[in-house]
Structure 1
Amino acid sequence: MHPPAQPYDERLTAPRSWWLIAFGIGVGCALALLPLGPVPMLGGLVVGGALAAVCVSAYGSVRVRVTAGSLVAGDARIPLEALGEAEELDEEGARAWRTHKADPRAHMLLRSYVRTALRVPVTDPDDPTPYVYVSTRDPKALAAALRAERSASR
């Protein structure tokens, strides 16, 4: 019997400053409607701020998980059998792989406000995707969870 795999579950939440920007958008909408009176101004504040907050929340709700023999990165579920050895990327390496080293065929779960990442080659010969790039705040823990899940599923 194999020991349970090391769990990994990370939500790539948006930074706090983005919530201030969402509030600022609401204020901007309110100011744009100010000439129409106080009720439209209040509506602009509420509706504009709420729409901006929904956008920030949706963008910052993406999850990265290792579960049941798969790497789940956003909407993608990739079986570990189709993946090679993970490469942990520090800030400089992550920037290189999302800019000048990037392959347009790669699957990228990219969040610019997360400075580190993990790059995992796709070894499935039937898949044209060369690698998976996943923004993560803890690439060491994600790589360890992938290794643990791979060894537990064998």
Structure 2
Amino acid sequence: MAETTTRYRERLWPSAVMFIITAVFLIPAVTLVLTPIDAAIALPGAIIVYAIVFAILASLSPTVRVENGMLTAGRAHIPVSLLGEPELIGREELRRAIGVDLDARAHLVVRGWIREGLRIPNLDAQDPAPYWIITSRKPQALAAALRAG
């Protein structure tokens, strides 16, 4: 059986603040809507709605990993050997990179609650995406894993 070598793994979860803010706004709003219908189910119903939203946010959080010479970001994957030198991009650079400077063919795995990431050139001539942009809370570690990949 082949041994799996994982060099990097990160789940792009929303921050705890995002979950708290969602709870602070969603639970009172749903409680307010349900109270005229049935006050007894208002708070439990709001908590159930929040749990559903929490599950959706968690299930939509992609995983970024580098293992066995392959970069996987969400459902997409590419051999590390087909990638160029990763470029660290901070808050302002990221804003430009996914805004005015974006090539529409680029592959993006971006979450708005993560403010930094990498731009990775795609050297595969058969692939229309000129580069990948991936947000990460640990972009230096991801870049190091790609270099070692």
Kindly indicate whether residue 9 of structure 2 is the aligned counterpart of residue 9 of structure 1.
yes
Distance 2:64 2:28 in 1: 33
Name the counterpart of 2:85.
85
Letter aligned with residue 108 of structure 1: L
Query: Which structure 1 residue ranges, 5 or more long, are not aligned?
Result: 150-154
Identity %: 36
Aligned position for 1:135 = 135
Q: Which residue of 2 aligns with 1:152?
A: none
The 3-state SS of whatever aligns with 2:145 is helix
Instruction: Please report the TM-score for the alignment, with normalisation by the length of structure 1.
Output: 0.84
Q: C-alpha distance in 2, partners of 1:49/1:142?
A: 32
Question: How far is 1:42 from its partner?
Answer: 3.3
Contact 2:65 2:72 in 1 (8 A): yes
Provide the secondary structure at the position in 2 that maps to 1:115: coil
Corresponding residue SS for 1:36: coil
2-side partners of 1:81 and 1:31: how far apart? 55
Tell me the residue number matched to 2:40: 39
Quote the residue 1:55 is aligned against: 56
Provide the aligned C-alpha RMSD in A. Answer: 1.9
Partner residue, 1:106: 106
**One-letter amino acid of the counterpart of residue 22, structure 2:** A
Number of aligned positions between the proteins: 145
Distance 1:58 1:94 in 2: 24
